[in-house]
Amino acid sequence: MTGMDRPRRLRRTPALRRLVAETTLQPRQLVLPMFVADGLDEPRAIGSMPGVVQHTLDSLRKAAADAVTAGVGGIMLFGVPRPEDKDAVGSVASDPEGILNRGLRALAGEVGDATVVMADTCLDEFTDHGHCGVLAADGGVDNDASVDRYVQMALAQAEAGADLLGASGMMDGQVGAIRRGLDAVGRTDTGILAYSAKYASAFYGPFREAVGSSLVGDRRTYQQDPANRRESVRELELDLAEGADIVMVKPALSYLDILRDVADRSSVPVAAYQISGEYAMITAAAERGWIDRRGAVVESLLGIRRAGADIVLTYWATEAAHWLA
């Protein structure tokens, strides 16, 4: 071997490896998804996501403050209504006194100046059928009626203090409709985080426990087919044309090729969501001693960043931020 054939020189010490690292992972790049549930006196554990809970308003405030202190870049909030408050159109989703909007006000009051408060702008947690929209007479999801409900949700969430609205329902035209609705009432500064490439994944299972989903069946008529790749670029281009401020790929680890495609083409920041099933798999394997937990978590987050994500939503955001600090 010649003197030019030894790339291991730059791997010899931690300091050298740190100096030449191509991908950074910093607390500010992480977003913590959180769940706030109505009717709880204390936080409730989510069995399939050890370490993650449904929060009360009080515990939500405390956990959010802890995340901000750790340097986490943002918080994405999901609401969990009482079962008796669900109906066919998810009425409580746009009610100012609904649990999600109360949670957003609590976050805005507690940490709003120190972090980015994000809201899940979707109906699935709030409908008695568990779909992400309003059902038509034939039982399918009515795209345009659902989009109208998203606009109503968006206005309530913006009023409650959300900085970014997570348009996650995968209805055609949702981003443009929300943008027009916000602008019409002077909410031109409220941003839209578009779930541009959201796939119908088997890895969402634990999330459905987390939000108490009422879903029967699946969402394959509106979420993307895992077999398709080019389709995600079309979805990206539509969302950009409609005014998306940030775009997202979900899930992350099974769709790193999609993430790279989107990152290569996007003119706005790109996010990726390390979803509940990804969290659960790493957690379960680590609990059994099969993998090193901290190493696997950091490696998975680095992989998502390396594939092109500017922002990573992860249930490990606060813990990983402490490690990185």
| Per-residue pLDDT reduced to its tens digit, 203-251 | 888 877 777 777 777 888 889 999 999 999 999 999 999 999 999 999 9
Token readout for 179 is 């943008």
Whether residue 251 is preceded by a cis peptide bond, meaning omega within 30 degrees of 0, is yes
Per-residue confidence band for 1, with pLDDT thresholds at 50, 70 and 90: low
Give SS3 for 132: coil
pTM for this predicted structure: 0.95
Helix axes 293-306, 317-324, angle to 10 degrees: 90
CA distance 273 to 166: 12
Per-residue confidence band for 35, with pLDDT thresholds at 50, 70 and 90: very high
Instruction: Identify the pLDDT of residue 205.
Output: 81
CA distance 273 to 250: 5
Cα distances from 297 to residues 51, 94, 236, 285, 305, in angstroms, run 14, 36, 28, 11, 13
Token readout for 164 is 């970014």
What's the average model confidence in pLDDT over 301-310? Answer: 98
Domains and CATH numbers, the chain: 24-324 (3.20.20.70)
CA distance 20 to 117: 34
Query: Is residue 184 exposed (0-12), middle (13-18) or buried (19+ Cβ within 10 Å)?
Result: exposed
Phi-psi region of 212 (alpha: psi -120 to 50; beta: other; left: phi over 0): left
pLDDT tops 80 at residue 2: no
**Amino acid type, 186:** G
Supply the residues annotated as catalytic: 198, 250
Phi-psi region of 40 (alpha: psi -120 to 50; beta: other; left: phi over 0): beta
Per-residue confidence band for 3, with pLDDT thresholds at 50, 70 and 90: low
Cα distances from 102 to residues 61, 72, 123, 254, in angstroms, run 12, 22, 16, 34
Per-residue confidence band for 273, with pLDDT thresholds at 50, 70 and 90: very high
* Alpha carbon 27 to chain centroid, angstroms: 16
Rg (CA), the chain: 20
Beta-strand ranges (E) seen in 108-237 are 116-121, 134-135, 141-142, 164-167, 191-198
Instruction: Identify the pLDDT of residue 180.
Output: 98
Instruction: Identify the pLDDT of residue 213.
Output: 79
Task: Enumerate the β-bridge partners of residue 33.
Answer: 76
